[in-house]
A = this chain, B = another copy of it.
Amino acid sequence: MLKIASIACSLSLATSAALAQDRLPIDQEELARVSPVLQAYTKDDLFGRVWQDPALSKRDRGLVTVAALIARNQTDELSDYIRLALENGVTPAEISETITHLAFYAGWENAMAAVDEAADVFEDRNVSANQLPAVDPDTMLPLDEEAEASRQSFVQETYGNVSQGVVDNTEQLLFLDLWLRPGLEPRDRSLVTVAALIASGHVEQITFHLNRAMDNGLSKDEASAMLSHLAFYAGWPNVFSAMPVAKDVFESREG
């Protein structure tokens, strides 16, 4: 559908790609019966071009897409996208821990719906219990005590009087526990958090978490490519609402 050669040239990559057309997580026949135009955009642009763009690895695209669908509670093709993530290098442990993480960042029932889908995929692929993150890991990741003390004292001071329960659970469950679990690298934990925030329109929380993601190793080019990828799965408006925030974060880190 693209008219410009410099972009369209990447289309030629599509046929030889890992995302073979016969394995697209899309019902091609139904799509053809309702909208041949949308079928062409899906094949040529989304899978033929966006997913092939090396600015973000297919492995990361898999993780980002799964996070976006969980955050948006869109389970129709979630099992296909979990499979696609697994085929591109995401481990079952990482899928498991992403779902656990998003219980907190997207809502408990979003995670429960994702569990339903992942259970089928894990069963098909014979994922066993010892491939999953342990409830009590031998070692947790190291805590940046200074950063956490500063975060906690800000939140306590600002919101202790509003809901001490929220303040306590945020410290005890999220920052002294969930974020220190070794089942997902901090950079990936941040990646799925930011993807979920953009995909569900939580603009206010993007500044903190995009900064944290970049502190945890996400490059600016990867963040830019994630925005471009998410435009398709979260819709253009969610991405355009995130753009000014991302701009501020990028500029504040360059200055």
Does A177 contact B109, Cβ atoms closer than 8 Å?
A: no
Interface status of A64 (Cβ within 8 A of chain B): no
Interface status of A37 (Cβ within 8 A of chain B): yes
Q: Other CB < 8 Å A-B pairs besides A1-B177, A4-B168, A33-B129, 6 of them? A: A4-B172, A38-B100, A74-B107, A74-B110, A104-B235, A107-B232
Q: Give the contacting residue for A165; candidates B97, B132, B133, B227; CB below 8 A.
A: B227
Q: How many protomers of this protein does the assembly include?
A: 3
Interface residues of A (CB under 8 A from B): 1-4, 7, 26-27, 30-42, 45-46, 53, 55, 69, 72-74, 76-77, 96-97, 99-100, 103-113, 115-116, 118-119, 122-123, 129, 132-135, 158-159, 161-166, 168-170, 172-174, 176-177, 181, 183, 197, 200-202, 204-205, 224-225, 227-228, 231-241, 243, 246-247, 250
Looking at chain A's contact residues, the main secondary structure is: helix
Which residue of chain B is the closest to A32 with respect to CB atoms?
Answer: B129
* Among A27, A36, A38, A169: residue with most chain B CB under 10 A: A38
For A77, the chain B residues whose CB sits under 8 A away are 109, 112
Q: Give the contacting residue for A115; candidates B4, B31, B112; CB below 8 A.
A: B31
Task: Decide yes or no: A3 and B177 within 8 Å by CB, A41-B100, A135-B37 being known contacts.
Answer: yes
Roughly how many angstroms separate A161 CA and B220 CA in the complex, as a whole number?
A: 10
Does A35 contact B96, Cβ atoms closer than 8 Å?
A: yes
